[in-house]
Structure 1
Amino acid sequence: MKPHVHHLKKHNGFRFFFIIFLLVSYFTTYSVTEAATSDRKAPTAPTNLRTTGITSSSVSLAWTSSTDNVGVTGYDVFQNNKVIGKTTSTQYTVNNLTANTTYSYFIKARDASGNISSSSNIIKVTTPKVVTDLAPQVGNIQVSPIASDGKTVSGTVTLSVSASDDKGISKVEFYSSNGGYLIKSLTSAPYSVSWATNPWVPDGEQILKVVVYDTANQIAQVSRTVIVKNTVSAVQSAYKMVGYYTSWSTYSNFQVANIDASQITHLNYAFANISTDGKIALGDSWADVEKPFSGDTTTQPYKGNFYQLTKLKQSYPNLKTLISVGGWTWSEKFSDVALTDQSRTIFAQSCLDFIRKYGFDGVDIDWEYPVAGGEPDNVNRPEDKQNFTLLIKKIRETFDAQSAVDGKKYIVTIAGGAGRSFAANTELNLLQQYVDYMNLMTYDFHGEWDTLTGMNAPLYRDPESKFTGEWSVQDAVQLYINNGVPANKIVMGMPLYGRIFNQVTNLNNGLYQSYSGGGSSISYANIEANYLNKNGFMRYWETDSKVPWLFNGSQFVSYDDLESIGYKTSFIKSMGLGGAVMWELSQDPNKVLASKIYNDLK
């Protein structure tokens, strides 16, 4: 008898099926787990890790987020290959660092399942040495406007910087190209500057830098990386906004870097001279091509203002620059240059060679004046009237021939006198077909050459003027139109200066009175700083001429202000003129009048 055999068989069968069940469950669970694990993907790595601030004990970091934004729950911050912090934002400040020490950093992203991305780019940062008097602490560069992603900008932007110790700041410098180009240097608050993004770096990174100096000449700096789109950055306007910049401005510390090219379409550099062999020549070789400059260590065939203009155009590539030839002082050789076909050919070719060598877009001929007038040593001939036309025609033909070769548009303009004599001594109806436009010098209507005080640039005639044959801006514009110049080729002069007369007879608030001494020009900046509402000066308004003047019982100042500029820009629009030309930019360094012109005509 074999008891329990049946029971043992049942037990063994059960055990067999139980083992099979465990094995199936194990492999099914493993398969599901393995599949779930294989479906999980690590987030993409953060990019563009950079510093936004460095002190002797801290480093502020910022980076571009992982593209797997849905799954990412945070970021791990690595210092010297060790995790030192975790954050859910794309910024992190590391504190308690040692001065004068180098640290390396990278970032990794992580998701809710614990997956870790590969590392971002690695950066190395050296904390500065500790000094007794701490360098000024600089806030982040503010870039406005900023797109919705917080970093992509295009067109003209505004940079501003805040410093914790404004009273101790001696200078703030704004740079683009990671310090390669000085945008502007400011010595007083507010520390803000307009700047155009550089389309020569298409859809790429541009690093903007601010350097702050305190009164002990210690330096703090902060950089901001901005992702820019390839867009046009210069002024886009139906009107031309032309500004003259003079070579001598550099000696009064108004440099090319101080020019706000966001508010002008054309920049005329004044002046080039004419050599004894009838060619265009440098007017001031030191200022033009020899002057040392800061902010760029690139070796160039020339330096000075001309090189700075080429750098300015890199930030404002739609800006056109022209070299102005002659002017009041250097017009004595124009008659000889224009005399024969050979002399005209030599001069025209020299102009083309000059602008191509130094990076200009055209030439502005400022002959003061054909046939008669100008400096006593000027050469004048009756045939200047016809020869002036032939000279401009030759320059146009020479430039156009080059355009056919390289496809570049070269500009030809003239600066034209605003009086009847200039119209009588030129062929305006013929000249106009060879120029892109004419800069009409509608200023200096009255000055030290007169026996009475008068307005520098009256928009309209004053019926009560004490001058015989009174003249105005309106008269000059209409004169050009009547002589065959299309209105849209007339760019109307806007003086950024006034004229001051001394020892004026105290009648009629100084207007149309005799004087002793004066008539000299005075910049708007000087007027604003030292005359407006100061030293007993009262502002008066000439209702007919639409211009103001100042008088304190002895000194008379004729000038333009925001109100008169408003009337003039309205006149430009109503007449369908080509735009405004400002003489000259250094006289309005704070851009009070220049900004009014820009805002009215943009």
Structure 2
Amino acid sequence: MNIKSFALALTLGFVAAQAAADKVVGYFPYWSQYSQFYPKDIRYNTVTNVHYSFIVPGEDGSLAFADENDATNFKTLVDLTKENGVKLIVGVGGMENEGTLKAIASSDELLPQFVSNVGSWLSANGGDGIELDWQNLTAEDAELYAKMLNALVDGLSNYTVTAVIYPAVGMDAYKAEALNRAAYVDVFMTDLMTEESSTVVPNQGAVSIQQTLEEVAAAGVQKDLLVPVVFLYGKSWIGAKGLGSSHQGYGSGNEGYLPYAELMGKFDSPDYTVTFDEASKSEVAVSESETIVFMGIPSVKAVAEYVKSEGMSGVAVYDLSQDFHEPIVSLLVTIGLQLRPEVNYKATKKK
């Protein structure tokens, strides 16, 4: 290869890496219906992929909606994602289903039937693929997890197969060789600020996300597959006076949880002083009665910039119902402006 060809190859490789960060994934859990957020409320121009959570496995390898009341909403979601050119990925597993997944993966008879059932479910109900969501893994489960993921990739060649991982359980619970066969890997962080924390720390920040992604990559998972999951909620702590201060338990919200959209309403008043913590790259809001730690525009922009600079696959948000609808303060738009700047994110006028 001559010098010019080598230089061109390097340039094209750099462009390919930069172009890899083009996914904006939005999680849409079945319980969104109970907060009056429906498929019609999704701003489809802000996402490339919607992840529906969940369908759950039965002991015989069968599959069913986690909540049958959401079947009609799912049909609407299928129609609207197709209409808007957005991929629909269906989460399989989820909370409290790890025992069933383990039993299926352990059986040479059940596993192929399970894979076949997943394909049949998608064919009957719709969706472009699935995401394996096996929670509370241990190192002892690593072989079985890899076995199931490989079986899904091999058996669902006509569909997109992704995986969500939880590095907090330890990367020894995952085999990089299996994860590297997935279309992409969503990296779910843990809440860093809990009621057990004696002093207030950021719940999530661009620095902690970057550190987690580096740990996952160091374990052998390809960087160009990684999609960090950003939380679209803050956590409030009564009596706290900012980062590093003590608290007296949960503050306002639902047991201290506040959707980003609700935070924007709170911060319209002069009661809160909102600052950006450079050390953690996260936001902090302090009032006379409480402190709220959350991810805002500067921190989410920093995550998207990092993902783009490292040639990762994209950024995900959890969940779609919690973003603020106005583009100027939307975290989905903040991500999109970094990863998909060509999209028109301006709010459409109501007729």
Matched, 1:328 2:77: no
Q: 2:174 aligns with which of 423, 426, 429?
A: 426
Match of 2:347 in 1: none
State the Cα RMSD in Å: 2.0
The answer to whether the 8 A contact 2:232-2:260 is kept is: yes
Map residues 159-558 of structure 1 onto 2, 5 A cutoff.
238-287=21-70, 289=71, 304-316=72-84, 318-371=85-138, 383-400=140-157, 403=158, 410-419=159-168, 421-427=169-175, 429-442=176-189, 444-460=191-207, 472-504=208-240, 506=241, 509-517=242-250, 520-530=256-266, 532-534=267-269, 536-558=271-293
The answer to whether the 8 A contact 2:62-2:117 is kept is: yes
Structure 1 residue 443: Cα displacement: 5.1
Distance between the aligned counterparts of 2:310 and 2:275, measured in 1?
Answer: 27
Match of 1:599 in 2: 337
Letter in 1 for 2:51: N
Distance between the aligned counterparts of 1:237 and 1:430, measured in 2?
Answer: 20
Letter in 2 for 1:527: L
Count of matched residue pairs: 316
Distance between the aligned counterparts of 1:589 and 1:353, measured in 2?
Answer: 36
Distance between the aligned counterparts of 1:249 and 1:413, measured in 2?
Answer: 22
Higher deviation after alignment, 244-253 or 325-334: 325-334
Distance between the aligned counterparts of 1:391 and 1:487, measured in 2?
Answer: 22
Match of 1:466 in 2: none
Structure 1 residue 397: Cα displacement: 1.1
Structure 1 residue 237: Cα displacement: 8.0
When the two structures are superposed, what TM-score results if normalisation uses the length of structure 2? 0.84
How many percent identity over aligned positions? 22
Distance between the aligned counterparts of 1:325 and 1:565, measured in 2?
Answer: 27
Letter in 2 for 1:554: S
The answer to whether the 8 A contact 2:234-2:292 is kept is: yes
Q: SS of the residue aligned with 2:127?
A: coil
The answer to whether the 8 A contact 1:443-1:494 is kept is: no
Structure 1 residue 250: Cα displacement: 1.4
Alpha-carbon displacement from aligned partner over 1:167-186 (angstroms, at most 9, x marks no partner):
xxxxxxxxxxxxxxxxxxxx
Distance 1:483 1:336, change over 3 A: same
Structure 1 residue 444: Cα displacement: 1.9
Distance between the aligned counterparts of 1:512 and 1:363, measured in 2?
Answer: 43
Distance between the aligned counterparts of 1:411 and 1:448, measured in 2?
Answer: 38
Distance between the aligned counterparts of 2:250 and 2:297, measured in 1?
Answer: 28
Instruction: Specify the structure having the higher radius of gyration (Cα).
Output: 1
Match of 1:467 in 2: none
The answer to whether the 8 A contact 1:265-1:320 is kept is: yes
Structure 1 residue 541: Cα displacement: 2.1
Distance between the aligned counterparts of 1:357 and 1:545, measured in 2?
Answer: 46
Distance between the aligned counterparts of 1:448 and 1:273, measured in 2?
Answer: 30
Match of 2:344 in 1: none
Structure 2: tracts of 5 or more residues without a match: 1-18, 341-351
More strand by share: 1
Structure 1 residue 503: Cα displacement: 3.3
The answer to whether the 8 A contact 1:237-1:601 is kept is: no
Letter in 2 for 1:477: L
Structure 1 residue 535: Cα displacement: 6.2
Letter in 1 for 2:302: Y
Structure 1 residue 395: Cα displacement: 0.7
Q: Which has the higher contact order (CA 8 A, sep 6+)?
A: 2
The answer to whether the 8 A contact 2:201-2:243 is kept is: no
Alpha-carbon displacement from aligned partner over 1:205-262 (angstroms, at most 9, x marks no partner):
xxxxxxxxxxxxxxxxxxxxxxxxxxxxxxx985111111111111211110111112
Structure 1 residue 595: Cα displacement: 1.1
Letter in 1 for 2:167: A
Match of 2:8 in 1: none
Distance between the aligned counterparts of 1:517 and 1:246, measured in 2?
Answer: 24
The answer to whether the 8 A contact 1:369-1:422 is kept is: no
Structure 1 residue 594: Cα displacement: 0.9
When the two structures are superposed, what TM-score results if normalisation uses the length of structure 1? 0.50
Alpha-carbon displacement from aligned partner over 1:155-176 (angstroms, at most 9, x marks no partner):
xxxxxxxxxxxxxxxxxxxxxx
Distance between the aligned counterparts of 1:309 and 1:442, measured in 2?
Answer: 26
Q: SS of the residue aligned with 1:383?
A: helix
The answer to whether the 8 A contact 2:167-2:188 is kept is: yes
